[in-house]
Chain A
Amino acid sequence: MFNAITHSQIYVLDQDEALDFYVGKLGLEVAADVNLGFMRWLAVSVPGHPERQILLEKPGAPAMSEETAEQVRELVTKGAMGGWLILTTPDCRKTYETLLAQGVEFTEEPTERPYGIDCGLRDPFGNRLRFTQPAA
């Protein structure tokens, strides 16, 4: 019936800051950055894989009331919004060292798991990210 996941979304509080982090630090690519007037459609993807994009959406009017947007922002900053991303890497420890040197905020150091070497971090807003070097 379905054959691919093409877009996912997470909330970010500032799209320029999100670009600095997701592209500048994590090394993702801008898949789309379009000012639609009513909102900025900003999506990133893993280099070379534009078929799978993550929309970095800023909560706000007119999609939601300012009051609701404030609640969403509050949940993001409390780490309660979801915003789960799991990426893969060929070398978890090396990626960890690289990102640590850039001041990325880690919640968990590289840890051996049955499924591979796994690591946890937060984006500047409170979203949780993980990356895994899958077990061979």
Chain B
Amino acid sequence: MSRAAEETNRRMLRARDAMDRDYARPLDVPALARIAHVSEAHFTRTFRATFGETPHRYLQRRRVERAMFLLRETDRSVTDICFDVGFGSPGTFSRTFRDIVGRSPRAYRKEAVATGVPTCFTMAWTRPSD
């Protein structure tokens, strides 16, 4: 029982790692379920039970986190950043960003300060919470 749960965790972690790595690519539930070696029907439910949020929400928050990073650390335009992190349209990007961060990408950029710590840490620690 417990060994099976550990293997399930590991599979879900593999799918989550894929989202952290390939956030800019179109990752849908079938693709992620394949990475996790589970059926599509079980994937979303199991992921949520493992990490406390749906894969879709996790991926959105990862993309927004990467957008926050690029807004902070680069001069790229908001539109470029939207596509760089995997959103399909600037409208969806701005709406999702505002839902999660509470401010528009432009407002965020004005206030944000570059952090100067290793990227792997900012990636894990600055991902916006609900």
Q: A109 to B10: give the CA distance in the assembly, Å.
A: 20
A126 touches B13 (CB 8 A): yes
Contact B6 A13 (CB under 8 A): yes
Q: Would B13 and A79 count as touching, CB distance under 8 A? A: yes
State A113–B59 Cα separation when bound (angstroms). 23
With an 8 Å Cβ cutoff, the count of chain B residues facing the other chain is: 18
A107: contacting residue among B7, B10, B12, B21, CB under 8 A: B21
Contact (Cβ within 8 A) A115 B50: no
Could you mark each residue 9-28 of chain B with 1 if its beta carbon is under 8 Å from any beta carbon of chain A, else 0?
11011101100110000000
Which secondary structure dominates where chain B touches chain A?
helix
- Is B129 close to A, CB under 8 A? no
Q: Mask for B107-130, Cβ within 8 A of A = 1, else 0? A: 000000000001110000000000
Q: Known: A70-B2, A122-B17. Contact between A78 and B9, CB under 8 A?
A: yes
A120 to B16, CA, bound (A): 14
Q: Does A15 contact B (CB under 8 A)?
A: no
Contact B119 A113 (CB under 8 A): yes
- Option from A74, A107, A115, A118 in Cβ contact (under 8 Å) with B6: A74
The residues of A that contact B7 with a CB separation of less than 8 Å are 77
A contact set with B: CB distance below 8 Å: 13, 70, 73-74, 77-79, 105, 107-109, 111, 113, 115, 118, 120, 122, 125-126, 130
Q: Using a CB–CB distance below 8 Å, which chain B residues touch chain A?
A: 2, 5-7, 9-10, 12-14, 16-17, 20-21, 50-51, 118-120
